[in-house]
Every structure is written in C-alpha cells, then in structure tokens.
Amino acid sequence: MGEEKLVIGVLASGRGSNLEAIFNAIQTGVLTARVGIVLSDKKDARALERAKQHQVPSIHLDPRSYPDREAYDAAIVTTLTAHQVELVILAGFMRLVSKPILTAFPNKVINIHPSLLPAFPGLHAHRQALAHGVKVSGCTVHFVDEQTDHGPIIAQASVPVLEGDTEASLSDRILIEEHRLLPRVIQYYAEGKLKIIGQKTFVEGGV
C-alpha cells in the first residue's frame, strides 16, 4: 500500500507549522500520502528540523549559490524529481516559483496563503487585513501560477476579525484553519477529486 500513496514535496522557509499539520494528518490516517522531501531556502528553517524528526529527507538549497531564480528553481526541480515527488506544496515558502517548477509540475503546485484571496496577496496579509478594517479574513489554498498568490482557488476557510486583534492574534486563529484546510485539500488531490475550470477548482462530489 505504501507505494500507492501520493508523494508530496514540501517547500518551506520558516517554522513549518503547516508541514507539521501534514505529518499529523498522515499519522492519523486523514491523509493518505507521504512526504518525500522537505526543501528550504533558509538553512535555519525549523521546517528542516521537523522533517528530520519524522525521518523525512530534508535539504537546504541556498539561492545565493545560483546565478538567477530560474537556475535555482531548476535545481529545486532536480531535487524534487530525484525524490519521486508528484505534488509540490508551498507551505510558508517565501519565494516566488518560476517557470522551471511550473513546467515540471503543471497544475501540481499548491500554495496556502493567509487571506481570502484575491484579497491581500503578497507579504503581510494580516497587516493588510487589519489596515483595511475587514470583518472577516481567513486562508486560501490554490494552485500556483506565475503571478503572486494567484491561480485557481481550491478551498478557503474564513475567520472573524475581532476588535482589538493584532497581527499575531489574527495569525494564530487563521493558522488553526490553515492546519485543517491544507491536509484536506491534499487528500482531495490524492483521491483525484480536483478539477480546474478557468480560475476555479471544483471538488468532485462536493466538499
């Protein structure tokens, strides 16, 4: 049965809390996949330590070792392919991915972003939400294209913005939903339920 599981590669730049949510979902049987490789552009990313704790290969690729973004992304593709990755997950990966990755993995790169896209793409989504005075924020899982936080939306979860919220408090509540949503979407993919039509993704049989 192990050979039949979807092999995912996770790209992360930070603490890897969504990566941990993926590991937890696999351990509890919610997600029938396995993590083939965790890759980071940051040498001290905690995500790499989390991978080691789960006996999963982890690699730091330093962008400064490559002449440009496309060369760096080509090296990422080589690493992912060497680990038989079928689906790429951007879990707090703080770099835009370019054509080499998107060409090698067409409609097979998924990102999670802490806002209800198309609202507040890019960095500091929580800060943007608070500055605009919105009453509801949340998170979005979407397929990746060459634009920032763009591409067919797969699923979203909403979170109320409370009076007195700070970036930290809003982030903490949204993270809870991120940790629920991302493994569920990966499972939909593993089951072949995701169908892209235009800029939207539909789950066969409903959510």
In this structure, the answer to whether residues 35 and 121 fall within a common structural domain is: no
Would you please indicate which residues are annotated as catalytic (active-site) residues?
113
Q: How far apart are CA 42 and CA 162, in angstroms?
A: 33
Q: Which of 43, 71, 106 is the last residue of a domain?
A: 106
Domain that holds residue 167: 112-207
In this structure, the answer to whether residues 96 and 118 fall within a common structural domain is: no
In this structure, the answer to whether residues 89 and 4 fall within a common structural domain is: yes
In this structure, the answer to whether residues 10 and 78 fall within a common structural domain is: yes
Q: How far apart are CA 185 and CA 188, in angstroms?
A: 5
Tokens of 141: 């899982």
Whole-number pLDDT of residue 1:
42
In this structure, the answer to whether residues 91 and 13 fall within a common structural domain is: yes
H helix or E strand, kind and range, residue 142: strand 136-143
For residue 118, what is the domain's CATH number? 3.40.50.170
Consecutive 10-residue runs of the chain (207 residues): their mean pLDDT?
Answer: 80 96 97 98 97 97 97 98 98 94 96 96 94 97 91 95 96 97 97 87 74
Number of residues assigned to the chain = 207
In this structure, the answer to whether residues 118 and 84 fall within a common structural domain is: no
Whole-number pLDDT of residue 207:
53
| Residue 163 neighbours by CB distance under 10 Å | 5
In this structure, the answer to whether residues 21 and 52 fall within a common structural domain is: yes
In this structure, the answer to whether residues 140 and 187 fall within a common structural domain is: yes
Q: How far apart are CA 51 and CA 125, in angstroms?
A: 27
By CB atoms closer than 10 A (0-12, 13-18, 19+), residue 95 is middle
What is the number of structural domains in the chain? Answer: 2
